[in-house]
Chain A
Amino acid sequence: MNIAESIRIALKAIWANKVRSFLTMLGIIIGVGAVIIMVAIGNGASKNITEQIQGLGSNLLTVYAGYSYYEGEGVRVMRSAPTLSLDDAAALEQGEHIQAVAPLVNTYGEVVLGSGNTQGSIYGTTAAYLKVRNKEMQWGRFFTDQEVADYKRVAVVGSRVVESIMGSMDPGIIGRSIKIENVPFQVIGVLKGSSTGFYYEDDIILIPITAAQLRLTGSKEVQEINVQAVSAEAMQSAQEEITSLLRKAHKLAPDQGNDFEISNQEDILKAMEEATRTMTMLLGGIAAISLLVGGIGIMNIMLVSVTERTREIGIRKAIGARESNILGQFLIEAVILSVIGGGVGILFGWGGSALASRFLGFPAVVTVSSVVLAVTFSALIGIVFGVFPARKASVLNPIESLRYE
């Protein structure tokens, strides 16, 4: 009996036991599919977050207003006062590792144009914002330092703001007068839609910081200062420079702590990478459980069918099958089921990943290693549990197999 006959016998046996064959394949399909989807989502999320953080600006350091501490007579006292100002921003521009500085005040408010209105984040900033935050213009222009110095009531808006108040992405918004918290501003530019996938990045209104302080916040307070270092290598030096420049500007005594905080993009990136790695591991864990469940499903079906299969082996041996014929048949059956199940599982995982991408808003990234791992594992279970009982039964006397209950 040649290999073609063995394959034909195996195929007939698979066909004769459609339900069992299907359930076995289902176990493999679920295991393989789940692993591929989970790992793809984890990978996609991690890639996406990294890109988003990098998209926030290059070589970016952000200084946040904090609280000042000083220690007197053994007691640490916290003085809660806003500590950043436009003067601080001006002082930072002197730093030699610092390329550009964009102070920021923000508030949340209503924007009205005729009958259209929307809520959005309103940022007061300076001309350097565009460069520091890696933004590009869709239409029109950004405001100049001169306009900032002149308290000009001009505004640059994000794409979602345009959609909200105009009903569509309409360049006709340029030159129109909008009311921000009832104060009229002239729209001079529209930002290009953000590529990072943070929707709120497109829901912003940018105005000169001077006008924002005067008309909207009514205070000299600056909430954060975005600082761009001259290069990636200069990030650390720039951070030290900012610390010393601000300590000097704030006239802090050596025993006093900083009254501001600096967040470094690299640190955020590392923290986020850590977080996404944890998430990927979590998803991987879920995937491993799916694989195990699929595997147990396969085992179950294989073991449940042992009685029937043992009888089948008895019948086949009684009419002259050799042990090698039996083992060959069962091995080929298991391989065929694993290959088909694995193939369908890959398609299922691939399709599922594509579908997940739609719902998640970021692409799930299918990796070859997850495909290989899942298929190997499932196939191994399928083959081991398909062939192992067959091996046991094939060495029995035919009459023992036929009597098997």
Chain B
Amino acid sequence: MLVVITLQGITKIYRTGEVEVTALQGINLHIARGEFVAIMGPSGSGKSTMMNILGCLDTPTAGEYILDGVKVAQASRKALAAMRNKKLGFIFQGFNLLPRTTALENVELPLIYAGVKRKERREKAIEALKAVGLEERIRHKPQELSGGQQQRVAIARALVTGPSVILADEPTGNLDSRSSEDVMAIFQKLHEQGNTIVIVTHEPDIAAYTRRIVRFKDGRIEQDEALAKSEEAPA
């Protein structure tokens, strides 16, 4: 079993003026290649905080995070940018697409920063958009797409560089149930293709797509359970 993510004693304390909030308290976690993990737990339990640390978008106050064998804390800012670019694909609840920029250009962006040549990156971006079923919408701008479509563009953007891990923080939080199903079907497919996926969700329906559920409470892992493998996606 190849470990992609290792968290050891990860602690995150937010300081706002006088007040200190301990969002994470000594989190230990291993995620292996090809795993499909759901992070669950009540609001404010530290799920997003951990995801941001996993995505190298934020730094822990203490503890060690090893991604693909690299100690993240020791990486330079340049190396961090490269990790976010190549090893990680992050999907936000609020999509975070560049406004007034076409789906294709949004998906091409990580490839531009990766230094991929024009022709190749166009092909890859179109391929990624096909994978999320948006080949018909590549020239559309975010404001011309539904929430579900925007989230699929964001997924295409996350997977276009072929990352080691796809991280999604409540990706269906802003979507209706129909769009949520579409999006989850995509994650399901990505998982079947061998991608490592970590997804935060409130909803048991969504979590049911995954193979492992990690429950958070008050900044700690309360429960970590593997689900029985079923060959079919739940309805």
CA distance A228 to B216 in the complex (A): 104
B82 touches A320 (CB 8 A): yes
The residues in A between 1 and 22 inclusive whose CB is less than 8 angstroms from any CB of B are 1, 5, 9, 12, 16-17
* Interface residue ranges of B100-133 to A (CB < 8 Å): 100-101, 105, 109-110, 112-115
CB neighbours (8 Å) of B96 from chain A are 311, 314-315, 318, 402
Taking a contact as CB atoms under 8 Å apart, the answer to whether B101 and A399 are in contact is no
Say whether B52 faces chain A, with CB atoms less than 8 Å apart: yes
A1, A320, A322, A399: the one within 8 Å of B58 (CB) = A399
Q: Which residue of B lies closest to A395 (CB)?
A: B77
Question: In the assembly, what is the distance between CA of A1 and CA of B96, in Å?
Answer: 23
CA distance A1 to B115 in the complex (A): 5
Q: Contact at B113–A325, with CB atoms within 8 Å?
A: yes
The answer to whether B98 touches A318, judged by C-beta atoms less than 8 angstroms apart, is no
Between A and B, how many residue pairs show CB distances below 8 Å?
70
Q: Does B220 contact A (CB under 8 A)?
A: no
> Within the complex, what minimum Cβ distance (angstroms) separates B7 from chain A?
17
For the complex formed, measure the closest distance between the CB of B68 and the CB atoms of chain A, giving whole angstroms: 15
Bound-complex Cα distance A317 to B98 (A): 12
Size bracket of the B interface:
20 to 34
Contacts known (A16-B100, A397-B58, A398-B57); A316 close to B77, Cβ less than 8 A: no
Q: Given the complex, which residues of B lie within 8 Å of A402, measured CB to CB? A: 57, 92, 96
- Known: A316-B109, A402-B96. Contact between A322 and B81, CB under 8 A? yes
Number of interface residues of A (CB under 8 A): 25
- Whether A12 lies near B58 (C-beta < 8 A) is no
Q: Is B152 an interface residue (CB 8 A)?
A: no
Secondary structure of the A contact surface, majority rule:
helix
Select one of B77, B78, B84, B105 contacting A318, CB under 8 A. Answer: B84
In the complex, chain A residues whose CB is within 8 Å of the CB of B59:
397
With A320-B82, A322-B78, A402-B96: A397-B57 Cβ-Cβ less than 8 Å: yes
Contacts of A12 on B, CB cut-off 8 Å? 101, 105
Alpha-carbon distance between A317 and B77 when the two chains are bound, in angstroms: 11
List chain B residues, Cβ under 8 A from A317: 81, 84
Given A1-B112, A399-B52, A399-B57, verify A320-B84 contact (CB < 8 Å).
Answer: yes
Q: What are 14 of the A-B contact pairs (CB < 8 Å)? A: A1-B112, A12-B105, A16-B98, A16-B99, A17-B100, A315-B97, A317-B84, A318-B84, A320-B85, A320-B110, A320-B113, A322-B113, A325-B113, A399-B52
Point out residues on A near B: beta carbons under 8 Å: 1, 5, 9, 12, 16-17, 308, 311-312, 314-323, 325, 397-400, 402
Given contacts A315-B96, A400-B58, 9 further A-B contacts (CB under 8 A): A1-B115, A9-B112, A16-B98, A308-B99, A319-B109, A320-B86, A320-B161, A323-B77, A399-B52
- The chain B residues found within 8 Å of chain A, CB to CB, are 52, 55, 57-59, 77-78, 81-82, 84-86, 90, 92, 96-101, 105, 109-110, 112-115, 157, 161
